[in-house]
Structure 1
Amino acid sequence: MKVAVFGLGYVGSVTAACLADAGHQVVGVDLAGSKVDAILQGHAPLAEPGLDTLTRSVVESGRLSATTDVMTALAGADAAVICVGTPSAANGSLVTEFVEGVLAEISEFLDVSPDAGHLTVVVRSTLLPGTTDRLVELHLPAAGGGRCGVAYCPEFLRESTAIEDFRHPPFTIIGTEDDLTFESVMKLFEVVDAPIRHVTIATAESIKYASNAFHAVKIAFANEIARFADAYGVDADKLMAVFVEDRILNVSERYLRPGASFGGSCLPKDVRALTYAARRADVDAPLLESLLVSNSSHTRRVVDHVLMLGWRRVALLGLAFKSGTDDLRESPYVDIAETLTGKGVEVRIYDAVVNPAELVGSNESYIRLRLPHLEKLLFESRAAAIDDVDGIILGSDRAPDGFLEGSGVPLLDANHPARHWPQFAPVTR
């Protein structure tokens, strides 16, 4: 394929050299003449291990060149890859003017080149969800006219290992809803050794942010734990070396699915004790301190949604913090029931495992403090609990398939994102 790569900064120069090395005919485009001159002379425009040698090789082979002229770069191109920067503004918002400028230039090329073939536009610049579609609609009308297709394909390049990361990323994300564009991007990245994930543009944009945010969380977490460990005379390096050996829970997909707030006898208690001990030792741990606040806000969102819907009588299915147990300690569903009851909402609870007469120890003490009238709220069956209610809150209960859908009662699943929840509509009785 003939490919024009816009932006010869860190991402663009690596992308251009690696695509040329894969056999594509690549033209790099940048307004900075110094970057263009560097490539034309067979040098990388920045320092990155192996990039200078790779650039020299593909320039000498004739598969990589560079220019400041957009029209020259796009003439006969099959794909245009946008790798320009999206820096932060002073207020933290994303600056998209460079992406907008490239899209406008591509649009201008298509306007003056009526005989140009179909062009695949691949955006790699980091953009917030919804931005690519919005910018394309504003600056690239040819996409709507069928003269070009657009895909968003985030990069996962790390400085100092960028070439290896390009060739062996965790996955290749192709965000597009157009089959022709998807096939074209597949051909562009066919030498990349990674599984293909075909998603929407907005999902692809979001994956980049989710990945980077999680990397930031991991770094901040490790550093806060290290400061805590050091304050108590613990070897932080040894601690974390053993910690990451757990690939079942610690370093795995576990706990990384959107769901209910955490609860039970361990996580809230231990986070609370950890943050207390950190404060006691004068250790600043803002990430750890935020965990319980974030958890509470997640639970509060369920309560707020019920109140905004105007539900005055609700069924809560599943009170224990986890299905199959009667452990009510720190259960988010207990918090939901307590708060709604305090707001004057009639709460009907069904939990097949929870029996107040059989609760003992701290489990009994906790529920007596939070819901002392639990016996009056419990119903013996799901059918009885949901009879004549305005809505159902699905907690830890696992109702039989089709049971809740067949009830005809609006359902708010506390274990899933809010987009699955009923829209606001006042209840009339």
Structure 2
Amino acid sequence: VKNSDIIFVCLPTPFNEEKLEIDLSIYDDVMEDICTNEFMNEGKVVVIKSTVVPGTTDLYSQQYEDVNIVFNPEFLTETNYLNDFINTDRIIIGGVNDWAIQSLIMLYRSVPHFKDTPIIKMSTTAAEIVKYQSNVLMATKVAIANVFYDLCEKLGVKYDDVKDAVGMDKRIGQEHIGVSSERGFGGKCFPKDLGAIIGRCRELDVDCKLLEEVFYYNDRIRKVKDWQEIAGATVGGR
């Protein structure tokens, strides 16, 4: 903290499958350590990188009023994270302090890879929603692909032929319409993010039955619930 102007906080937010919520206890402890550090001052910026439910960053900002806190989500795949980071389609920055936002923008622009990358500024809550909607849309795309895979199987049609033709539509593309032998979607992000946003919607009395069906459909068809075995992905996980 003493020698840093911008502090990136990238920590696990384990998913509680029973409660459909993320566990922020690790974040709470580290944010307290950083934000109450004797070397913390108004000239420093704290950047939350982990996926947190809408409203979380604002709560931290209210708790630590004298600290500049912004939200800057990642858009990475687990298998290609470095390339995804370097070649990101956009950089999202959520915050209320213009100086803090500009400080982060200047840092990104100082890196050649990000010289021309679109940078979008918005509120912290809007930025948090961007991350969730992005992942939920991709997860839903996988679920829909699996439904049509089963339909093709019943009718004796090769799904790959259908997939390739559908994916030629530029509005759809080939991403996330393949069907693996494990079926559905897994990994550390999609199940966790979909479940957590369902929990948040329920808290706010937002009708999320569509998202619930995707979540429970995937739970039914997924053969390997790998997220339960990934360290830090779930509460009680390995």
TM-score scaled by structure 1?
0.38
Q: Give 1:202 shift.
A: 0.5
Q: Residue 15 of structure 2 corresponds to which residue in structure 1?
A: 88
Moved segments of 4+, more than 3 Å: none
Unaligned runs of 5+ in 2: 174-205, 207-238
Describe the SS at the equivalent of 1:189: helix
Q: Residue 148 of structure 2 corresponds to which residue in structure 1?
A: 225
Q: Residue 213 of structure 1 corresponds to which residue in structure 2?
A: 136
Describe the SS at the equivalent of 1:128: coil
**8 Å contact 1:151–1:174 — kept in the other structure?**
yes
Counterpart CA distance in 1 for 2:39 and 2:149 is 59
Describe the SS at the equivalent of 1:197: strand
Among 124, 131, 153, the alignment partner of 2:56 is 131
Describe the SS at the equivalent of 1:122: strand
Among 31, 41, 44, the alignment partner of 1:103 is 31
When residues 117 and 202 of structure 1 are mapped into structure 2, their CA distance, relative to the original with a 3 A threshold, is: closer
Q: Residue 77 of structure 2 corresponds to which residue in structure 1?
A: 158
Describe the SS at the equivalent of 2:15: coil
Q: Residue 44 of structure 2 corresponds to which residue in structure 1?
A: 119
Q: Residue 127 of structure 2 corresponds to which residue in structure 1?
A: 204
Counterpart CA distance in 2 for 1:99 and 1:134 is 12
TM-score scaled by structure 2?
0.67
**8 Å contact 1:107–1:141 — kept in the other structure?**
no
Unaligned runs of 5+ in 1: 1-73, 144-148, 252-300, 302-429
Q: Residue 79 of structure 1 corresponds to which residue in structure 2?
A: 6
Counterpart CA distance in 1 for 2:82 and 2:3 is 27
Q: What's the Cα RMSD here?
A: 2.0
**8 Å contact 1:76–1:117 — kept in the other structure?**
no
Establish whether residue 169 from structure 1 lines up as the match of residue 115 from structure 2: no
Establish whether residue 236 from structure 1 lines up as the match of residue 159 from structure 2: yes
Identity percentage of aligned residues: 27
Counterpart CA distance in 1 for 2:131 and 2:66 is 26
Q: Give 1:136 shift.
A: 2.8
Counterpart CA distance in 2 for 1:113 and 1:85 is 25
Establish whether residue 246 from structure 1 lines up as the match of residue 169 from structure 2: yes
Say how many residue pairs are matched: 170
Describe the SS at the equivalent of 2:66: helix
